[in-house]
Structure 1
């Protein structure tokens, strides 16, 4: 009977405190531990990699750096208490500044050493500009590595401080769970009329002794509240700082930072209730077996519980409002074409040919230079001889330059590239990766035209580097040349729970995952599925009819159902975030065309995303009014890249774009990649949460390198439901 009273009392505590705990999905979610950005050995390895070459030139500076590093590690090793003046938060900035200073000295020494070497003993065989660019790139790479080292160090210190706090948090949770389980066990035994000898333990439970409810409650509050110390970094403060420091690189989490904190809120409040329940059991036991009336103490316990829950709720609500609330994927361990990424293969690339390519056969004059060649239509159409140009350029030829003789390393047949590298034989300058072993080379040499003039006065047909733009739809290959404008819409009473970009049928599509919405923002995972894309019938090598799963046929019309990529006209991708407001959830998405400043001019067109939303009731999970959302923004600005390289050369990519920018489809740098790759690539990885959550928004962004040296990827983010307004 007493056991039943205890359970009833516990229920009343929960009801009185007005707590809605979704125990089946939220309280059982394990809080994702922020992975250490690095560890001590990794930092030391990073330092050694950066400084190996420098050490040979300036050992004194490196020794000084090693000394600072040892002092830093010693200081960190001896510092454990988070509130001491020597905590990571306190000394991290000072050490970072010191490292920054020394790093600048090292960078300067390296730069001076390299530049002196280059100018004292110039390389006669190389082009000066190209050599200087290589030096500049080397210095930039060193600076980037040092910057990464500094960030990793600071992140490491912060993560250690947070790790210590979380260790204490989990210890307090474990202690209360043990006491709570003890009270449940005692209640069951009392219900079965088993005599218990727990008087001493009960006395400790209602005392202020260490490791018991009153003490644990106080220590727990110390982790979360500043307690009149404005300089104190609480557990939530450190969470927030780490998340915000890494907002551009943060990826691969199962829950968004906001949802992690929301889960932490439920776990914390659940612990507060258990703590009070343990004390309530102790008071009830003493009332029953000691004979003292603890009515006032129990009433005070209830009031204290309500106050604590209100305090924690207010604290967490404020933090939830500033926590990032998105999910994006990290880069895969191995990139696989058409699996993890897609590309606009051979849309724009560079090729090498002789001037005679542009002259009538047997009537070559080669009077002009390469830069004077201007073409506006495909050469095969001009010459009525497409077979001749099939292996040169099937599209438009533009931007010819650099009169010289060339040697090219032809890529293997399985590659989308034409060349691995190009060599200017006149000055021995390489474009692309000269270290690539080559099995097939080809010479494009300058040749004399035989005339009645002496040889010294005869015309020379030179080799030219030209750009090919092949944006044709009517071609017998499977290259991506358009964006689908067809909707991916959820069914009735369904919401979006995930999204992905799909390269299929020569178009880029956006596909949603849908599921049934339940009360309190929960999801019926058994109803979850990816919304099927239509199948297509082709005409002239491009989809002409869409066939939906229910058999509906839909004839496709350009600019209504799809938008073709046209270089210098429709060659921009808008990078934007679409979230309506907290009352609505995402139910549909598609690509569309946006015209800058409503000009409706092709040169001002940008591929963007449109969305559909539905109003919903959080308590019941019912879907209501649906509406489209066309976000009105100011004219987007261009994301300008700096001599972009092939995206596949970089193992790790970070967000380098902002909301309301656009990326222009283009070709990689000539020096770095021989201009053989069309960028950006398309990230095909699906983006979802675990456990599943309804989506409030979706975002298209660019990920590459912070110094803008990669062509990068266009990728998706999802923005889950905002729990800050429902707490």
Structure 2
């Protein structure tokens, strides 16, 4: 007998071993294949015994019904996702209508399956007319029967291109819609790749439920003496197999085109320490008189002369005596106007000034009621020909008021316990920024044990001792760039760690990846590799380019949603906000603290650092993750009844016919099915 092996791309599958010595199949599609074996086994029993009663089939039927009942937990969640998608697609009516129709059909199959399950709990006490009428309806040619509903689902989901008829398939339409309108931003905490996979998974599971209902309906009618239904059963089986093959064939292309990137949308409300982290007083607007920036107490130059200076004292208790001096570097000074009113910030604020209003009414910062009395500041003439001007400068001063440190320590998953990285987030502990990882135990088939998923605890460093061992990077005016990269390991590798390193004056992100055995889930712990992008602004051919922030304001002020505006191989410099908008008082960009992890945790092929924001805002530096690419881990095995059925080869791109004289791989057990769905329920 021949067997049809279709190699496809889908999530959660096992690798075909060299030489095709064995076939490793994703559990969802193993279920689709095994359901055929379970049904055929029941038919064999029915045909081998002349006086079979309906109760004799109850064990086999209820086993499959139990399996389908567990399926409901998966389908319900994806049905909810479909309705969520419909609400998001108001701008694309065609896709919205198709998704709505698909969700309705899936729900109807699900509710019908539940009804059959209730009837068959006690087949000998359920009225014969009820079962007979229900079975006749399931297999009728009515478009609203189970058979009709399955055909309509297939028409919606499987692309068709015939003369005069072009149907791209609803999930292909959804993919194109997401590409056009960045719908992967939806806060569903799944990459588009995962979302599409889960919907395909639901379609396959729905097919299994429909197939089982139809087959057992014919068995019920056969027991009641309405016929033997051999041909009908065979045709139904062929149609079921072909629909599954068509669905996964479409899945291969769509999954290959969909993005595996996951990042976080803005929260409903920005809360410091919860949704974002800020660096403090890295570079900050600072007013200083030129007389206090030179050792001789003279004013022989102008403000522009002081591009790199230090505070040299406080001349005659002027304004300098009323503010904290900048005891670091004073840079980028400029003259604005001679006279001004200054609203100084409260003692414990991260700001020096709330706003500055010059004599001509030019204002730096947002003018509002000042909690303290304003201070009038005037430049003066010294010895008639030297003008001692107040300059608007930038202060670069480290110390207890300035959080500007990034950890350079590795954050690694516990690979000794077969754990891998499934998510990450920025955290700030004792004034130092870390990239915290979320880890989980890797299982066979590229799955993650949901019960094992935890955020790995970080042991915060003490700045005093960490400096000795060079375990952190301190930002400064000269060293304040962070590289923006997308990093992925080789195919077959998954992420097991992260770290930052210094690359010249830049802070550079790295990931650790490790190969693994997909079928067993075992990590190859001695073959890890660190992945990074070491391009710099002076690299030949692949020069790293800057991301410019134009007149940046405080990121949390805007009501517009932040959008990714950086690309791979760029960098952004931490700096101060715009002088006019915020008096250069806030360090930007902020760091997005929201955890980046899939709703259903999965292994990661990589991660990255990017910038998101809107024009005129400082925006956020944030992490993103790449869900694992399962494209080479998919095989479907179906037993075909005859050579004629190989015509389905025309519907797929990769088909291999091999000899297979056994059918043991098609037999199913209740325990195996239920375990699978308990593990995969979302």
Indicate the TM-score class for this superposition, using the shorter chain for normalisation. 0.7 to 0.9
Rounded to whole Å, the distance in 2 between the matches of 1:177 and 1:700 is 42
Q: Distance in 2 between matches of 1:378 and 1:462?
A: 15
2:566–2:611 contact (8 Å) kept in structure 1: yes
CA deviations over 1:358-398 (Å, ceiling 9, x no partner): 355xx75423222223534554699xxxx979713121112
Contact 2:495–2:604, Cα closer than 8 Å, also in 1: yes
291 and 225 in structure 1: CA distance in 2 versus 1, 3 angstrom threshold:
closer
Q: Deviations over 1:198-250 (max 9, x none)?
A: 44443333221131023212221221234326754532133213322343871
1:510 deviates by 0.9
Distance 1:285 1:441 in 2: 90
Match of 2:434 in 1: 509
Match of 1:483 in 2: 406
Aligned to 1:392, the other structure's residue is in SS state coil
Contact 1:399 1:466 in 2 (8 A): yes
Under a length normalisation based on structure 1, what TM-score does the superposition of the two structures give? 0.71
Once the two structures are TM-superposed, the CA of residue 714 in structure 1 deviates from its matched residue by 0.8
Match of 1:224 among 126, 139, 157: 157
Q: Which residue of 1 aligns with 2:388?
A: 461
Q: Distance in 2 between matches of 1:721 and 1:371?
A: 53
| RMSD between superposed Cα atoms in Å | 3.4
Q: Is the 8 A contact 1:666 1:680 kept in 2?
A: yes
Q: CA deviation at 1:190?
A: 3.0
Q: Is the 8 A contact 1:21 1:27 kept in 2?
A: no
Instruction: Tell me, yes or no, if the aligned pair for 1:556 and 1:562 is still in contact at 8 Å.
Output: no
Give the paired residue count. Answer: 564
State whether residues 500 and 511 of structure 1, in contact with CA within 8 Å, keep that contact through their aligned partners in structure 2. yes
SS in structure 2 of the partner of residue 460 of structure 1? strand
Question: Which residue of structure 2 lines up, in the alignment, with residue 369 of structure 1?
Answer: 302
Q: Of 465, 484, 487, which residue of structure 2 is paired with 1:544?
A: 465
Q: Taking structure 1 as reference, are residues 345 and 579 closer, same or farther at Cα in structure 2, changes over 3 Å only?
A: same
With the length of structure 2 as denominator, give the TM-score of the two structures.
Answer: 0.75
If asked which structure has higher relative contact order (CA below 8 Å, sep 6+), I would say 2
Which of 551, 566, 583 is the equivalent residue of 2:492? Answer: 583
Distance apart, 1:289 and its partner CA: 1.8
Match of 1:281 among 189, 210, 216: 216
Deviation digits for residues 591-644 of structure 1, max 9, x if unmatched?
A: 1123xxxxxxx4xx3212111122223333222244123234533211112111
**Could you tell me whether the CA contact under 8 Å between 2:54 and 2:223 is conserved in 1?**
no
Q: Do structure 1's residue 416 and structure 2's residue 339 form an aligned pair?
A: no
Distance in 2 separating the partners of 1:401 and 1:671: 14
Give the superposition deviation at 1:269.
0.8
Q: Which string of whole-angstrom CA distances, capped at 9 and with x for unpartnered residues, describes residues 160-180 of structure 1? A: 443322221122122222332
Q: Distance in 2 between matches of 1:345 and 1:204?
A: 70
Aligned to 1:295: 230
CA, structure 1 residues 536+225, in 2 after alignment: closer, same or farther (shift >3 Å)?
closer
Provide closer, same or farther for how the CA distance between residues 535 and 443 of structure 1 changes in structure 2, counting only shifts above 3 A: same
Q: Secondary structure at 1:321's aligned position in 2?
A: helix
CA distance in 1 between counterparts of 2:494 and 2:233 reads: 43
Q: Which residue of 2 aligns with 1:234?
A: 169
Q: Give the Cα separation in 1 of the matches to 2:371 and 2:86.
A: 39
Q: Does 1:519 align with 2:444?
A: yes
CA distance in 2 between counterparts of 1:326 and 1:37 reads 22
Q: How far apart, in 2, do the equivalents of 1:259 and 1:630 lie?
A: 24
- Looking at structure 2, the residues matched to 165 and 233 of structure 1 have their Cα atoms a distance apart, in angstroms, of 11
- Kindly tell me: are residues 380 and 359 of structure 1, through their superposed partners in 2, closer, same or farther at Cα, counting changes over 3 Å? closer
Cα distance change on mapping 1:608 and 1:380 into 2, 3 Å: farther
| Alpha-carbon offset, residue 14 of structure 1 | 14
Alpha-carbon distance change, 612 to 389 in structure 1, aligned in 2, over 3 angstroms = farther
Q: Does 1:565 align with 2:498?
A: no
2:500 paired with 1:500: no
Report what 1:393 is aligned to.
326
Shift of 1:34: 7.1
Change (3 A) 1:428 1:2: same
1:710 correspondence with 2:617: yes
Q: Distance in 2 between matches of 1:261 and 1:565?
A: 42
Whole-angstrom distance in 1 between the partners of 2:217 and 2:138:
7
> How far did 1:280 drift?
1.0
- Aligned equivalent of 1:176: 109
Q: Which among 558, 561, 564 is matched to residue 655 of structure 1?
A: 564
Displacement, 1:589? 0.6
- Kindly state the Cα deviation for residue 22 of structure 1 after the two structures are TM-superposed: 9.8
Equivalent residue, structure 1, for 2:547: 639
- In 2: Cα distance, 1:507 partner to 1:192 partner: 70
| From 605, 608, 625, the counterpart of 1:699 | 608
Residues 231/637 of structure 1: CA separation in 2 closer, same or farther (3 Å cut) = farther
- Structure 1's 379 and 161: CA in aligned 2 closer, same or farther, altered over 3 A? farther
C-alpha distance in structure 1 between counterparts of 2:629 and 2:175, whole Å: 16
Contact 1:420–1:436 (CA under 8 A) maintained in structure 2: no
SS of 1:334's partner is: coil
**Which runs of no fewer than 5 residues in structure 1 stay unpaired?**
40-154, 452-456, 546-554, 595-601
CA shift digits 1:337-374 (9 cap, x unpaired): 333322221111112233332355xx754232222235
CA–CA distance in 1 between the matches of 2:250 and 2:496? 32
Instruction: Write the distance in 2 (CA, Å) between the matches of 1:248 and 1:673.
Output: 33
Q: Distance in 2 between matches of 1:409 and 1:623?
A: 60
On the 8 A contact 2:340/2:376 being kept in 1, the answer is yes
Work out whether residues 71 and 205 of structure 2, in 8 Å CA contact, stay in contact via their aligned partners in 1. Answer: no
2:513 aligned partner: 613
Cα deviation, residue 191, structure 1: 4.8
The secondary structure found in structure 2 opposite 1:514 is strand
Segment of structure 1 superposing worse, 433-442 or 482-491: 433-442
What are the ranges of 5 or more consecutive residues in structure 2 without an aligned counterpart? 1-52, 536-541, 635-682
The Cα offsets for residues 471-515 of structure 1, whole Å up to 9 and x where unpaired, read as x3xx3x153222211111111201112211111233221111112
Q: CA deviation at 1:7?
A: 6.3
CA contact (8 A) 1:352 1:444 kept: no
Separation in 2 of the partners of 1:458 and 1:697? Answer: 64
- Pairwise CA distance, 1:701: 0.8
